[in-house]
Structure 1
Amino acid sequence: MNRIRLKQATGASQAPDISIEYLTRIEQGRDRNPSIAVVNALADALSRDPSERNRVRYLSKIIAGACSGHAQPAPPRRDVRPSVLETLRVLEPGIAMVTNRLGDVLAHTSAFESVTSGTGLLDADNPNLTRCVFTDARARKFFTDWDDVADEQAFDLWLAPSVDNSEWFTTELAPLAGLAFARRLNCHVVPQRGVLRLNHPSGCRLELLHETLDLSADARQLVVFLPVDERTAQAVEQLRHRPH
Structure 2
Amino acid sequence: MAGTELGEFLRGRRGRVSPEDVGLTSYGTRRVPGLRREELAQLAGISVTYYTRLEQGQSRHASEAIVEALARALGLDDDERAHLHDLARPAPAKPRRRPRPAVVRDGTRRLITALGDVPAVVLGVRNEVLAWNRPGHLLLAGHLDFGTPDRPGERPNLTRMLFLDPHHRDLHVRWQEEAARAVASLRLVAGRHADDRELAELIGELTMRSPEFAALWAKHPVATCVSGTKHFRHPEVGELVLGFEALLLADDPGQRILMYTAEPGSPSEAALRLLTVGAAVTPAGPPASVPPRGPAPRSGRA
Same fold (TM over 0.5): yes
- Is contact 2:170-2:233 (8 Å) kept? yes
Contact 1:195 1:210 in 2 (8 A): yes
Counterparts of 1:208 and 1:81, CA distance in 2: 27
- The 5 A counterparts of 1:52-63 are 52-53=87-88
Select the residue among 113, 116, 121 that pairs with 2:140: 116
Q: Does 1:106 align with 2:140?
A: no
Is 1:163 paired with 2:194?
Answer: yes
Pairwise CA distance, 1:206: 1.0
Counterpart in the other structure of 2:175: 146
Question: Is residue 103–residue 153 contact of structure 1 (8 Å, CA) maintained in 2?
Answer: no
Listed as ranges, the matches of 1:197-208 within 5 Å are 197-208=231-242
Q: CA deviation at 1:192?
A: 10
Summarize deviations over 1:151-192 as a string: whole Å, max 9, x none.
221122122242222323212332122243442361225679
Contact 1:121 1:132 in 2 (8 A): no
Distance change >3 Å, CA 237–CA 203, structure 1 → 2: closer
The C-alpha deviation readout for 1:116-136, integer Å capped at 9, x for no partner, is: 244559796211100000112
CA contact (8 A) 1:95 1:225 kept: yes
Report the Cα distance in structure 2 between the residues aligned to 1:123 and 1:176, rounded to whole angstroms. 26
Task: Give the SS at the match of 1:195.
Answer: strand
Instruction: Map 1:47-196 to 2 at 5 A.
Output: 49-53=84-88, 72-74=96-98, 77-118=101-142, 125-160=154-189, 161-165=192-196, 166-184=199-217, 186-189=220-223, 194-196=228-230
Q: Distance in 1 between matches of 2:98 and 2:129?
A: 17
C-alpha contact (below 8 Å) 2:183/2:213 kept by paired residues: no
Is 1:9 paired with 2:44?
no
Give a deviation string over 1:87-107, Cα, whole Å, max 9, x none.
112212321111134211111
Q: CA RMSD in A?
A: 3.6
Q: 2:257 aligns with which of 211, 216, 222?
A: 222
Report the structure, 1 or 2, having the larger strand content. Answer: 1
Partner of residue 237, structure 1: 273
TM-score (norm 1): 0.66
Counterpart code for 2:157 = N
Structure 1: which 5+ residue stretches go unaligned? 1-6, 16-26, 28-38, 63-71
Alpha-carbon distance in structure 2 between the residues aligned to 1:179 and 1:108: 28
What is the CA–CA distance in structure 2 between the aligned matches of 1:95 and 1:136, rounded to whole Å?
A: 20
Aligned to 1:33: none
Secondary structure in structure 2 of the residue aligned to 1:51: helix
Closer, same or farther in 2 for the Cα pair 1:126/1:191, shift >3 Å? closer
**TM score, norm. by length of structure 2:** 0.55
- Paired AA for residue 238 in structure 2: C
Q: Distance in 1 between matches of 2:102 and 2:175?
A: 26
Cα pair 1:154 1:181 within 8 Å, conserved: no
Query: Which one-letter code corresponds to 1:224 in the other structure?
Result: M
**CA deviation string 1:12-43 (max 9, x = no partner):** xxx9xxxxxxxxxxx9xxxxxxxxxxx65278
Offset at 1:83?
Answer: 2.0
CA contact (8 A) 1:98 1:105 kept: yes
Displacement of 1:228 after TM fit? 2.1
Give the letter for the 1:131 counterpart.
R
Tell me if the contact between 2:237 and 2:274 (Cα under 8 Å) persists in the aligned partners: no
Corresponding residue SS for 1:163: coil
Label 1:42 to 1:234 Cα distance change in 2 as closer, same or farther (>3 A).
closer
Shift of 1:85: 1.5
Q: 2:275 is aligned with what amino acid?
A: L
What corresponds to 2:76 in structure 1?
A: none
Residue identity (%): 19
**Residues matched between the structures, number:** 200
Which segment drifts farther, 158-167 or 82-91? 158-167
